[in-house]
Amino acid sequence: MFDLKLLNIFDDEMSLSSKSVKLSTDSRSYSGEEVFFCLSGESFDGFNFVEPILGKGCEVIVFKNSEENLFKMEEMSERYDDIVFIGVDSPLLSLQELANARIKEFKSNDGFVFGITGSNGKTTTKEMLTNLLTATFGDEVHATKGNFNNHIGVPLTILAAPENCKYMVVEMGSNHLGEIGTLCKIAEPEFGIISSVGAAHIGLFGSIENIFNEKKSLYDFVLKNETDRSKFVINSDDQNLSRIPSNQKLIKFGTNGEVKTQFLKEEVRVGDSLTLRNKNIQEKYNLNNLISALLLCVNIFPNQTEDFLGAANEYTIPALNRSEWIQKNGKLIFLDAYNANPTSMEAALNSFIENLSRKNIALEKSLFILGDMNELGDYTEVEHKRIGTMLKKAGASQVAFVGRFSEFYQEGFSDGEVYPEKSLLEESWPNLSKKCYAIFIKASRSLQLESLIDIT
């Protein structure tokens, strides 16, 4: 929610009164929000779909002030004289400007803004940080829903914060250079975490170096605009993040970090004073995500350390097709069907194989299902082949590749079975899966490999 009077920034002559309101941008899901933004693009204009919401509680409509729309607005305003129509050059830029006005108001009232980004693990880290903060501060915490983390999602996240919000967790995604910088200007984070730097969207960025600089722009913003209480956390075991120079605002953790981590059988020791005992998370990379959230919390709010640590020990990753362990019909399945890129695929494979060893499960009793890794551009063939080669060196024997790039995987693992289409894999699934006990499933979202769980 936000104060209606913030809309006065769009017109010096406008004098909307102070009132808490909600905002919508989609007429299909409209449910009585007082403010409606008609987003527009090259081939669409939300103003063309605004008619059904008129007379249903909407008080203000922001639209693109094209000649055609201004003509429509004149006609509509005659029929709905209680609605304020605001014409702007760009509804999207105005939405971002409104969100930034809300942030400035929020921070002037001592609000905390946390920014989270990374090639892999940013949504998981955001959920972890939100959980830890909520364990201490309750409903005063507001966070990005799902992965609503782009140039539209970030403003909507900010404007949806309830009136009593004091702690705002904003996830920031990017698939092109400069996007994180834009999101930082909107959200003005005072604290932050970069979960990792890897080859996600490398086909769009062009190089790992470009990805590193893009993710690092969150840290650059926090450092440039630092306050007395600003803190930032990175995992120095990430070879790219380790390049960021030490700073009094920066907390670098890892096996060789300034805050050292020791992964023992039943616990993880973090620095000199924290011991994490979470039995629900089996992947080292997700434990690192949890450590980053925990370190940020205890360094900003040291008096609540025990509360944060207790919440961290109990945390369970939500079942969202991400790093999910499933027991079904006598089989142990690792499912990560939400996203995949070379960095996350390599980390997931290593973690799965480590877990097999800890559980005394033989590698030959395991089935590996690897699907397409999308948005790799010129790196598509070489990265799929590299992962296939890695799997071969690890000693896997039962392997199947699925999707458009399955043959590229097979270049690195010639004994792997190839299924160009998911339907062909599903037809073979009963025979393919019957001899194994543990199953690894990971691919980009386009394949929706969680369907394999239903037929297991």
Write out the two tokens for 286.
């997700």
Determine the Cα–Cα distance for residues 235 and 259; give it in Å rounded to an integer.
Answer: 10
pLDDT above 80 (res 65): yes
Clarify whether residues 13 and 80 are in a common domain: yes
Mark whether 98 and 25 lie in a shared domain.
no
207 in a domain, yes or no?
A: yes
pLDDT at 12 over 90: no
Helix (H) or strand (E) holding 95: helix 91-108
Residue 101 domain flag: yes
Please enumerate in sequence order all residues whose Cβ is within 8 A of that of 132, keeping only pairs 6 or more positions apart, or say none: 293, 294, 297, 308, 311, 312, 315
User: Is residue 204 a part of any domain in this protein?
Assistant: yes
| Percent of residues, the chain, with pLDDT higher than 90 | 95
Q: Does the pLDDT at position 55 exceed 90?
A: no
Q: For 109-191, where are the alpha helices, taking DSSP H only?
A: 122-137, 153-159, 179-187
Residue 273 in domain: yes
Q: Of 401, 440, 436, 439, which is closest to residue 421 (Cα–Cα)?
A: 401
The one-letter amino acid at 212: F
CA nearest neighbour of 368 among 410, 317, 319: 410
Express each pLDDT in 416-442 by its tens digit.
999 999 999 999 999 999 989 999 999
Final residue of a structural domain among 73, 89, 105:
89
Question: pLDDT by residue (tens digit) across 302-330?
Answer: 999 999 999 999 999 987 778 899 999 99
At 171, the pLDDT band (50, 70, 90 cuts) reads very high
At a CB cut-off of 8 Å and minimum separation 6, what does 232 contact? 191, 192, 193, 219, 222, 223, 247, 249, 250, 251, 296
State mean pLDDT over 268-281.
Answer: 97
- Quick one: 442 and 420 in the same domain? yes
139 shares its domain with 235? yes
The H or E element that residue 324 is part of is: strand 324-328
> Whole-angstrom Cα distance, residue 409 to residue 340?
14
Interaxial angle between packed helices 91-108 and 179-187, expressed in degrees from 0 to 180 and rounded to the nearest 10: 50
What is the Cα–Cα distance from 142 to 38, expressed in whole angstroms? 25
Note whether residue 66 is domain-resident.
yes
Residues 160 and 261 placed together within one structural domain of the fold: yes
Domains in the chain, number: 3
Q: How many whole angstroms separate alpha carbon 47 and alpha carbon 33? A: 16
Q: Which of 295, 314, 333 is the last residue of a domain?
A: 314
In a domain, 319, yes or no: no
With bands split at pLDDT 50, 70 and 90, how would you rate the model's confidence at 34? very high
Q: Which domain holds residue 371?
A: 324-454
**SS3 of residue 277 by DSSP:** coil
Output the average pLDDT for the chain.
Answer: 96
Q: Based on the domain organization, do 404 and 431 belong to the same domain?
A: yes
Instruction: Tell me what pLDDT residue 412 has.
Output: 98
- Tens digit of pLDDT for each residue in 375-415? 999 999 999 999 999 999 999 999 999 999 999 999 999 99
DSSP 52-66: GGTTTT--EEEEE--
Over the stretch 115-137, which tens digit does the pLDDT of each residue have? 999 999 999 999 999 999 999 99
Assess whether 439 and 353 both reside in one domain.
yes
In the listed set 34, 58, 89, which residue is the last one of a domain according to the structure?
89
Return the amino acid letter for 298: V
- On whether both 223 and 134 belong to a single domain, the answer is yes
3-state SS assignment for residue 134: helix
Nearest to 440 by CA among 358, 329, 323: 323
Residue 320, pLDDT score: 72
Strands 268-270 and 274-276: antiparallel
C-alpha angle 429/401/362, rounded to 5°? 70
289 and 308 co-located in one domain: yes
Kindly state whether residues 216 and 74 are assigned to the same domain: no
What's the DSSP call for residue 27? G
Query: Within this chain, do residues 85 and 99 fall inside the same structural domain, yes or no?
Result: no
Provide the CATH number for the domain around residue 212: 3.40.1190.10
Average pLDDT for 128-151? 96
What is the rounded distance in angstroms from the CA atom of residue 312 to the CA atom of residue 135? 9
Contacts for 70 with CB less than 8 Å, ≥ 6 apart: 87
Residue 369 counted as domain residue: yes
CATH value at residue 381: 3.90.190.20
Q: Is residue 215 one of the residues assigned to a domain?
A: yes
- Banded pLDDT at 147 (limits 50, 70, 90): confident
Beta bridge partners of 325: 334
Q: How many residues does the chain have?
A: 456
Same domain, 76 and 211: no
Domain with 63 in it: what CATH number?
3.40.1390.10
Q: Find residue 380's DSSP bridge partners.
A: none
Q: Are 232 and 251 in contact (CB under 8 A)?
A: yes
